[in-house]
Structures are given as C-alpha cells and as structure tokens.
Amino acid sequence: MAGLDPDIYPSIDDMWRTAIKAEKHDDLPSAKSVSIVLLYLVVLLFGIAGNALVTAVVSVNEHMRSVTNMFIAQIALGDIIMLLLAMPFDIISKYVYEDWSFGTVLCRSMSFCKDYSLTITILTLTVMSIDRCFILSRELRTYSIRTMKMFVTVAIIIQLLSVSAATPATIFSSVWRESNHTHSNDSAANASFRVCKLNDGSSNLLRVSLSRVLLLYVLPLVIISVSFTKINAFLRSTEAQVLLSANIKIVSACKRALHLLITLVGLYTALLLPTVIDTIVSFFIRGGSLYDNKWYSLYEFLVDTTLYAICVYKPVVYFIMSANFRGGFRELTCCSLHNSGKSRIECNDDESTLDTNEIWFNSDGSESIVQYDVGDRV
C-alpha cells in the first residue's frame, strides 16, 4: 500500500464538497458575529412583540376599531410577515453561515415578503395621507374612508397592489454563486459562496430595480408630499381658522393625527433610503467584487439594519404619540382588570380619539350632529 500513488485516490475533501465548509465552522464564532446576531435577535423579538400588541389592541377594544387604527393594524401585520418570513433567513445566511443554504424557493419567498411588507406600509401611509386630505376638504370629504365597508374595499386593493409590486423581484431573485472571494482567513482564497439576490445578468434587472425605487419610495412620497402640502394650506387658510376655532378639541385631534402620520412617513423615508441607494448602486457595482472590503461589509450591515428597523419603529411611535395605544399596551402587558365593564383605554381623556369628520358645521352655524360609524381614534 505504501508504494501506491496517492494521487490515484481522491481525498475525503474531494469526495465531500462540504468538508471545507465544515472545517470553517468548527471554530467558535467571532465576537463580531455573536454581537450582530444578538442585535438582530433583539430587533426580531421587539418587532414581533410590538406589532402583535398593536394588532391586539385594535382587535380586542371596540373603541379602537376606527379606520385609521385598522390601517395601522394592517401595517403591523405586514411587518410581522417580514420579520418572521424574511429576516431570520437573511441574517442567518449572511452572519452565521456566510452562505445561502436555504434553496431557491425560500430565496424567492424572502424577496417576496420584503417587498410585500414594504409596499403594504407605504401604500397604507399614502392612502391615510390622501384620506386625511379629503376629510379636511368640504368638497372632497364625501370620498373619505368613513365606513368599515369602504375600508375593506381599500384594504383589498392595497393587498392586491402589494402582491403585484412584490412579484417582479420574486421572479428575478435566485441563488447565485460568488467566486474568487471568501469571508474566512484560511488558505481557500478561491472558495465560493452562495447569495440570494436579483439576477445580475438579467436584462430586466434595471427595470426591476427602477420599479422598486419608484413604487416603494419616489412615487408614494410625492403623493404624500402633495397631500401634506394641501393639508397645510387648508389649516393656514382663513376658512379653516374660522371653522376650527370654535372647537379646540377637534383642532387638537386633527393636529395629533397629522403629526402621527408625518412621523410615520418621515421615519419610513429615512430608514428606507439606504436600501434605495443600495438598489441603485447594486446595478452598477457587482457585490461579489466588494465582499472582502470591510467598508462595504459595514455598508451592507447598515442597509440590513435600517431595513428591518422599519418593522420596529412604528409601535414605538404609537406608544409615544397616542395615549390610547399607550393605555392599550399597558393593559395587555400588565393584564390589568377592567373597571365597571370598561377598559382603561375607554376612560382615557385623549383628544386624539375625537371624530375629526365632525369638523364641518351646519349651514345655520351650529355644529353638525352627524355621527359616522368609524372615526379617527388614534
């Protein structure tokens, strides 16, 4: 046996292509990897808990089932989908395995969940902005979403548009192998690894990238900006000053709801900006040539962090800016008892719970007594 040529017989590493990979992961994970995974674990748990509380508060309290809050619950459900079905696979593949090992189906599912959740968020915020503009307009208020039937219709349209908007990225996403670079410091400098991303070689990549930027960022923000401009112009008008001066609580309710909406849109704009930049940059620069660059790695980490932070900030905003949601969160987390058949939410003196559809007055100058089934209780 000693005289046999060893080159005739393949080594165990040649027969099992995963041997090098196993060798790599035999070492203990670095402090950097552990810190990143723990950070995203906190984001995951906090995001799921916060959004679950939002949906629970709206579901269990009849007082909170307004059109505005139903839209908020719809956004929360979209965030939960992204956190559960996209984030774990994305983070594990990048920071634990450093290789996509979940297959093409999960790759495309992850891409779909990301774009679907983001589209749900921005389309809902856009509809809420337009509706707020309609409510404050005497001529357009009849088109505002004031009943649950109208809400269901609009919600279904948003769902269909979100599925359609997420489809292109889903189709063109797949598992691709990057070569000639490695994340490790061993001698296997030419080792390859798999990534889940859009097809760099596809002629439709530019169309998909531009459509994502336009649908998830540019076009909705333009519409929202126009709505906010019209709202601001109305609130500064003489008609509004005369109309609203008679009821300070209604003015406060309008402003509080508007401030909440502006905060949600502003944070979405800021947090999604790195992802938008990455979408544009990735078309001109292939990531495979930059994976070993520490600054590019930091850049990718910031992109991922800000993207998933979109699913986390909203419950925090609701807690800070809405006394009703704040009371609902406390009631559910502390398991407090109801007093006299009423929850603490219903007893809060929160001016933002007023129905701002009642801002218009009757022709004789008296306040309108028209009550709508669904108000603007936030």
pLDDT single digits (tens) 154-211: 999 999 999 999 998 898 888 888 765 444 445 444 567 888 888 766 567 778 888 8
CA distance 137 to 226: 14
C-beta neighbour count of 34 within 10 angstroms:
13
Stronger pLDDT, 94 or 206, i.e. the higher one: 94
pLDDT-wise least confident of 63-72, 119-128, 153-162, 358-367: 358-367
**244 — pLDDT class (breaks 50, 70, 90):** low
Does residue 121 fall inside a structural domain? yes
pLDDT at 289 over 60: no
Q: Confidence class of residue 292 from pLDDT cuts 50, 70 and 90?
A: low
Mean predicted confidence (pLDDT) in 114-127: 96
Rounded to whole angstroms, the maximal C-alpha distance in the chain is 112
Which one has a higher pLDDT value, 28 or 263?
Answer: 263
What's the confidence (pLDDT) of residue 296? 77
In a 3-state reduction of DSSP, which class is residue 367?
Answer: strand
What is the structure's pLDDT at 71?
94
- What is the structure's pLDDT at 200? 65
Give per-residue pLDDT as tens, 333-362.
875 444 444 444 444 434 333 344 455 444
Is residue 3 in a domain? no
Angstrom distances, CA of residue 343 to CA of 253, 264, 323, 336, 340: 21, 27, 13, 9, 8
Residue 272 structure tokens: 């999604």
Closest listed residue to residue 279, CA positions, set 173, 358, 371, 360: 173
How far apart, in whole angstroms, are the C-alpha atoms of residue 9 and residue 16? 14
pLDDT in tens, 43-55: 999 999 999 999 9
Q: What is the pLDDT of residue 274?
A: 93
> What is the average per-residue pLDDT within 130-148?
81
- What pLDDT sits at residue 258? 86
Q: Is residue 19 part of a domain?
A: no
> b/e per residue, 184-214, with b = 16+ CB within 10 A?
beeeeeebebbbbbbeeeeeeeeebbeebbe
The model's pTM: 0.81
- How far apart CA 114 and CA 122 sit, in angstroms, is 13
* DSSP 8-class letter at 214: I
Provide the domain count of the chain: 1
147 contact partners, CB below 8 Å, separation of at least 6: 372, 373, 374
Picking from 30-34, 132-136, 293-297, which range would have the lowest pLDDT averaged per residue?
293-297
Query: pLDDT averaged over the chain?
Result: 77
At 221 the pLDDT is 95
Amino acid 145: pLDDT: 83
For the ranges 222-226, 277-281, 286-290, 301-305, the lowest mean pLDDT is seen at: 286-290
User: In 3-state terms, what secondary structure has residue 194?
Assistant: strand
Q: Residue range 252-274: average pLDDT? A: 89
Q: Is the pLDDT of residue 1 over 50?
A: no
Lowest mean pLDDT among 149-153, 253-257, 308-312: 253-257
Per-residue confidence (pLDDT) for residue 247, from 0 to 100:
63
Distance between CA 37 and CA 40 in Å, rounded?
A: 5
What is the percent of the chain with per-residue pLDDT over 90, rounded to a whole number?
38
What is the chain's percent helix, strand, coil content, to nearest 5?
70, 5, 25
Task: State the pLDDT confidence band at 148, using cuts at 50, 70 and 90.
Answer: confident
- 2 domain-assigned: no
Q: Identify the domain containing residue 113 by its residue range.
A: 29-182+190-359
pLDDT at residue number 97: 85
Is residue 351 one of the residues assigned to a domain? yes
Place of tokens 């990979």: 21
Question: Is residue 364, in this structure, part of any structural domain at all?
Answer: no
Residue in the block written with tokens 């279904």: 156
Read off the pLDDT band of 365 (50, 70, 90).
very low
Residue 40 lies in a domain: yes
Question: Which CATH number fits the domain that encloses residue 303?
Answer: 1.20.1070.10
Give CA–CA dist 231/236, Å, rounded.
Answer: 9
pLDDT score recorded for residue 339 = 45
Q: What mean pLDDT comes out for the span 132-146?
A: 80
Per the model's pLDDT, the better-predicted residue between 119 and 359 turns out to be 119
Residue 321 falls within a domain, yes or no? yes
pLDDT score at 355:
44
